[in-house]
């Protein structure tokens, strides 16, 4: 459901091919929604069928043909309607946390390594977000409101990563305690 509107939003900003959308989702939108290229192509076909998108096929001499999608007026209407419906901030899916309910069965050494790895991944992501912040959102007040909105989405990503890292500190502290007992 939400992927539909994530795509419409992306296309309302700028027409694009499935390939380009996939890249945007991997980069700037990684924060918000995960989607594979297969899912994106399938969804684009569906939206085209429904008349929410138009497509223009562009021949390229030395590259495969590409299909540029643009949002139609009725697509935009559908998006606007969705925007007025309340949405939840996040969906609870925390696979790692399941392990904390099976603590007694965990291999502690392996788990410590996993926690270390998770920390590295999160720290790296946070790092890349703060690079984006530096690059694009330095002079916030001079930016159009369009980018000020996007900045807030980035802030959510950063703040939730910071919270996760702080939590990992507690986890590691606790793991050390367990070692002593």
The residue ranges that bind its own copies (CB under 8 A) are 2, 5-6, 9-10, 12-13, 29-34, 76, 79-80, 83-84, 86-107, 110, 114, 117-118, 122, 145-146, 148-150, 152-153, 155-156, 159-160, 162-164, 166-167, 170-171, 174, 177-178, 181
The answer to whether the Cα torsion of 145, 150, 156, 159 is positive or negative is negative
Among 14, 26, 27, 36, binds DNA (CB under 7 A): 36
| Residues 94-131: b if buried by 16+ CB within 10 A, e if exposed | eeeeeeeeeeeeeeeeebbeebeeebeebeebbeebee
Residue 79 interaction partner, one of its own copies, DNA, none, beta carbon < 5-8 Å per kind: its own copies
Q: d(Cα 97, Cα 78) in Å, to the nearest integer?
A: 36
Between 45 and 156, CB nearer to its own copies: 156
149 vs 144: CA distance, rounded Å: 9
Q: How far is the CB of 179 from its own copies (least distance, A)?
A: 11
Distances (CA, A) of 21 to 35, 55, 59, 64: 10, 14, 19, 17
The partner in contact with residue 105, picked from DNA, its own copies, none with C-beta cut-offs of 5 to 8 angstroms by kind, is its own copies
| Closer CB to its own copies, 50 or 80, in the complex | 80
- Interface residues toward DNA, by CB under 7 A: 1-4, 17-20, 22-23, 34-39, 41-42, 44-45, 60, 62-67, 93
């Amino acid at each position: 459901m939400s992927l539909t509107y994530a795509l419409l939003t992306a296309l309302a900003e700028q027409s694009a091919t499935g390939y380009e959308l996939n890249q945007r989702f991997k980069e700037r939108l990684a924060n918000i929604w995960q989607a594979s290229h297969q899912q994106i192509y399938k969804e684009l076909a569906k939206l085209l069928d429904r008349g929410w998108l138009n497509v223009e096929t562009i021949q390229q001499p030395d590259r495969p043909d590409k299909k540029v999608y643009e949002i139609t007026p009725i697509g935009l209407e559908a998006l606007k309607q969705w925007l007025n419906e309340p949405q939840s901030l996040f969906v609870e899916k925390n696979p790692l946390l399941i392990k904390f309910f099976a603590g007694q069965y965990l291999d502690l050494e392996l788990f410590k390594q996993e926690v270390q790895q998770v920390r590295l991944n999160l720290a790296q992501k946070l790092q890349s977000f703060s690079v984006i912040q530096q690059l694009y959102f330095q002079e916030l007040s001079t930016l159009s409101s369009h980018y000020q909105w996007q900045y807030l989405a980035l802030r959510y990503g950063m703040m939730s990563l910071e919270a996760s890292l702080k939590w990992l500190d507690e986890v590691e502290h606790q793991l050390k305690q367990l070692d002593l007992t």
